[in-house]
Amino acid sequence: MICRCLLLSLGPLLTLIPAEASGGDLNPPGPPGSTMVTLEEIASAQDPRIPITAVPVTIEEAGSYYLTGDMYLGSGAGTAHAISVRASGVTIDLNGYTLWASSLAEGGGIIQPLGDRARVFNGTVQSFAQDGISLGDDSQVHDVIVVSNDLAGVSVGENSIVFRVTADNNHEGGIVAGHGSAVTQCTATRNFRGGIITGTGCTITDNTCRYITSSGGLAGIGASSECLVSGNTCTDNPTGIEVGSRCLVTGNNICGNSGNGLLVPGSGCRIDSNHVADNGISGIRVLGTDNIVVRNTAFNNSTANYTISAGNFAAQQIAPSAGMANTDPWANFSF
């Protein structure tokens, strides 16, 4: 009875359904198009940075820039730099690529003639007629290789940081840093006029400097006054390390240099716990006055292990022995 009543009640509604009902053409108008997006397209859409696609180029606005491939500065560029930075607050990611120049090009690599607070990282800059990288004050250069540039490999202004840089075969110094800068964990090899050269008040730590090719007595590390020079290895240079006044020079390994291992022409320095061996003149040579020389180890330096001028404060020199019977904690070893 219930089913019959339900059918009777639906009767008028069934008459409203058309005899032919259609949902549209089921055949597509054509083959489906591709909806795939490459990883490069995704990265490009999400990357707010500005691409550098060719050189020479001039950057005149602050921002973050990146290389899209290896870049070559041809002979037709004249004196133009590969990348000229004329603004402050610029970051350049070399993106793992190499920036290099024709032997006939006269410009530099990445040069900041105007501005400060620049950052360059992650790539190689080589074979430029001027500096490889030259930035203003308050800048950073890290994780780069600078090779065979006619001036400095890296040059930065005051209060800057240079770290994890490899500088090889640059003519006017591997790394040159202004006052108040820090240079750490870098390697400077075969640079003509010094490995690492700094102004006053700098921190130079944990670097390796070798094979300065000039015969003019230049140093693997040349630090001005009021610097901390610590934990560095300097070998096979005309002079291993040379410092100015009021420096702390500690824990360095200075061996096999053709001249002096550690040269101190200034005053008021503390020379502490360095190892100097097999250098061509003196292991430690102090020319200034009022310097403290303690707890160093000098071995087999050609002229003398220690050459200390009058007016300095040097702990006694002792030879190491099997029992190390001497109890002077400040003594300098000499053998």
User: Does 56 sit behind a cis peptide bond, omega within 30 degrees of 0 on the bond before it?
Assistant: yes
pLDDT tens per residue across span 89-123: 999 999 999 999 999 999 999 999 999 999 999 99
The residues near 101 (Cβ < 8 Å, ≥ 6 apart) are 72, 73, 82, 107, 109, 126, 127, 128, 129
CA pair distance 6, 15, nearest whole angstrom: 15
What pTM does this model have? Answer: 0.85
Specify the pLDDT at position 216.
65
pLDDT tens per residue across span 122-163: 999 999 999 999 999 999 999 999 999 999 999 999 999 999
Give the mean pLDDT of 257-277. Answer: 98
**Comparing 219-233, 292-306, 315-329, which segment has the lowest mean pLDDT?**
315-329
9 vs 272: which has the higher pLDDT? 272
Whether 3 has a pLDDT exceeding 90, the answer reads no
3-state secondary structure of 4: helix
> Residue 11 carries which side chain, given as an amino acid letter?
G
Q: How confident is the model at residue 325 (pLDDT cuts 50, 70, 90)?
A: confident
The DSSP-derived string for 76-96 is GGTT--SEEEESSSEEEE-TT
239 vs 47: which has the higher pLDDT? 239
Specify the pLDDT at position 15.
43
When the pLDDT of each residue in the chain is averaged and rounded to a whole number, the result is: 90
Specify the pLDDT at position 9.
43
Whether 32 has a pLDDT exceeding 70, the answer reads no
